[in-house]
Amino acid sequence: MIIESKRIGCLDGLRGLAALWVLLGHSLQLTGWHLPILSSPDLGVDLFIMLSGFLMVFHYRLRETANPWEKPTTWFGFWLKRFFRIAPLYYVMLCIALLLGPQLYESRMVIDTFLAHGPQLPERYLDGSLRNLLIHASFLFGLHPTYAFRTPLPDWSLGLEMQFYVVFPLAMLLLRKTRWLPGAALIALAAFIVAKAVQAAHIDFPMPSFLPLKMHVFLCGMLIANGLFVTQRQTVMNGLLAVILVMIPIGGDMTSTKVAVRLLLVVAFFALVHYHLLPGLVGRLGDRVSSLMGNRFCHWLGELSFGVYLIHLLLLQPIAAFISGISGLRFRRRYALRSW
């Protein structure tokens, strides 16, 4: 199928859903509540990663004639656009987060005391050094285990995203030369080998901020997007490879539940984009859901998703600390009255 429209309706809804998932997951974690699946914000981040892989390939395929990737100017234009998509808001929030670090650390200590959790590493909140600021401003922090998770922001995934942007033009040239299925499998295998070598060298990333740990998840979105520009048989084969890749056991918590959820995310994403391949009622339902996820409200939600993702922890932690403080005070009063 060669796509004619430049807009995929369900993407707005999926971006908004991913942001809400991360927001709700962190809210539950900070208040001590647990809901299966929803209490795992890392799954929402995986959805964001798939969407990023999808969008990069989708826009590349639409523009490959006008902006051939063999030209260095195309690479430079791509990197410049992606940088200014992320950097301005991130730089503002990075400065705010580093300035508020001591206050946020106090809030987190209140939360962890109330929940009987071990204390947070103080460096994540209290390292306001110029070195920490510069390594984050350069987006190189995801490559260094010491700095990959060293601000109050959930910015580890932004370093990961920037690494993906750097290698994306090379990956696309490789996929064009080798064909998509063997090329994607080769990239995933190379990433897996590098990830295992890092693990064997006892280099421990506190979050999966190193691209080889998540390259297979990016590839899932890339394969689903490529299916829009090839034959139906090739589309199905792309989807099947995405299902296989998402189960590679690296890049985070690989419990059976989380593997199953990641698998369902790939299947649902494929179905929402390629509903025309689904039979009868299922296909019509996929069409309806995809259209609904592209309505004005979902578009608004999708546009807010990056800001919500970047800002939410700075707001949630003081709120959760306030709630924890009140709850702890009530508990102590009740315990004192019963003891009396």
Residue 336 lies in a domain: no
- How many CB atoms neighbour CB 148 within 10 A? 20
pLDDT tens for each residue of 262-278: 999 999 999 999 998 98
Question: In angstroms, rounded to a whole number, what is the distance separating the alpha carbons of residues 157 and 49?
Answer: 9
Residue 168 lies in a domain: yes
Minimal CA–CA distance to 54: which of 223, 239, 195, 294?
A: 223
Residue 331 lies in a domain: no
For 218, the domain range is: 10-319
Task: Give residue 328's pLDDT.
Answer: 55
Residue 27 lies in a domain: yes
Minimal CA–CA distance to 50: which of 242, 235, 186?
A: 242
CA dihedral 121, 125, 127, 131 (to 10 degrees): 110
The residue assigned the tokens 């950097």 is 87
Residue 2 lies in a domain: no
Residue 72 lies in a domain: yes
The domain tally of the chain equals: 1
Residue 34 lies in a domain: yes
123-to-13, 26, 38, 169 alpha-carbon distances in Å = 36, 20, 28, 35
Name 316's Cβ contacts closer than 8 Å, sequence gap at least 6: 23, 26, 27, 30
Residue pair 172/69 in contact by the 8 Å Cβ criterion: yes
What averages of pLDDT result for each successive group of 10 residues across the chain (340 residues)? 64 94 94 91 96 94 81 88 94 96 94 87 93 96 95 95 96 91 97 96 94 98 95 96 96 91 96 90 87 89 92 94 71 43
Minimal CA–CA distance to 226: which of 279, 171, 295?
A: 171
Residue 127 lies in a domain: yes
What predicted TM-score, i.e. pTM, was given to this entire model?
0.93
